[in-house]
Amino acid sequence: MIYLSDGGEDATVAREFDTSTKQLLKDGFILNKKSQGSVGWVDEDTLMVSRADPERCHGTVLVDTGVPFERRGELLALPKPLRRSFYPARYFPEVLLVPHRLFARDFHGSPEGEARVIDYFFEGSPEDQELTRTDRRWYEVTRRIIEYSFEDVRTLVANVCRWAGNWAHLLELDPKLRLVFVHGESNRLFALERVEAKAVTLPNASVVVGQAAGQLAVYQKPSLFVEGIKRAASDR
């Protein structure tokens, strides 16, 4: 199964693809309603489908995403590591591929390189940085996040460019739907104050705050995510 999207957007259609003939199968599996999610093979005739159904969706939960950057000054106010990526991602994205490939090479090159990249990942967020330096559990969580991101550096850069853009239109949900931000109180990378300020301008939006937690809040306190799901799924 392969996923096809319109212009790189998150919502996709899924089609069955023959790897030997390099052709889409006319009589193969087709999920032609654009949606987010994934599918997996159970056997040669059966798929397991996990896809968002707009007709059954009650809301959206955003975990530590921050909010859209609507002004240049908001990008300039980011901590240095994020500013180094997000600012060029917004204004001259073509320069990002080489440094991200260098980071990936350093990360995969040696244990010392891996540790450097992980430490840099949370530069500007001392609470999270301290966790990864002193507790192997949080080092491993961060390592796996970075390892997954570096599987495809070109896709990683494309996602950073989208994240650094003004994606305010994506928050313009149907007024019947709920929007829930789950965010760490001590998140220095994406300030809670900006998230709370944006939430009050949106219909049916709320914020679940992880007390004394930073960017790793949802890993430290999984109950925050559960609370976000409950709010998004609750009746009006």
Q: How would DSSP label each residue in 197-214?
A: HHHTTSTTEEEEEETT--
How many other CB atoms are found less than 10 A from the CB of residue 71? 10
Q: How far is CA 53 from the centre of its chain?
A: 20
The token pair at 176 is 């019947």
Q: When comparing pLDDT for 116 and 39, which is higher?
A: 116
The whole-angstrom separation of Cα 127 and Cα 131 is: 6
Q: Which parts of 45-191 fold into alpha helices (H)?
A: 72-76, 80-91, 97-109, 111-121, 126-134, 136-149, 153-163
**Res. 236 pLDDT band, cuts 50 70 90:** low
Question: Phi then psi for 179, rounded to 5 degrees?
Answer: -120, 120
Q: Given a cut of 80, is residue 128 above it in pLDDT?
A: yes
Specify the DSSP class assigned to residue 28.
S
Return the minimum-mean-pLDDT range out of 55-59, 97-101, 162-166: 55-59
**Which residues, in sequence order, are CB contacts of 192 under 8 Å at separation 6+?**
183, 184, 185, 207, 209
Identify the structural domains of the chain with CATH numbers, from first to last: 2-51 (no CATH), 59-74+166-233 (3.40.50.1820), 83-163 (no CATH)
Q: What is the pLDDT of residues 162-193, one digit of tens each?
A: 999 898 888 887 777 889 999 999 888 889 99
**Res. 194 pLDDT band, cuts 50 70 90:** very high
Residue-level pLDDT at 209: 95
Q: What is the chain's mean pLDDT, rounded?
A: 88
Burial class (CB in 10 A: 0-12, 13-18, 19+), 19: exposed
Return the minimum-mean-pLDDT range out of 5-19, 145-159, 178-192, 209-223: 5-19
The whole-angstrom separation of Cα 98 and Cα 221 is: 35
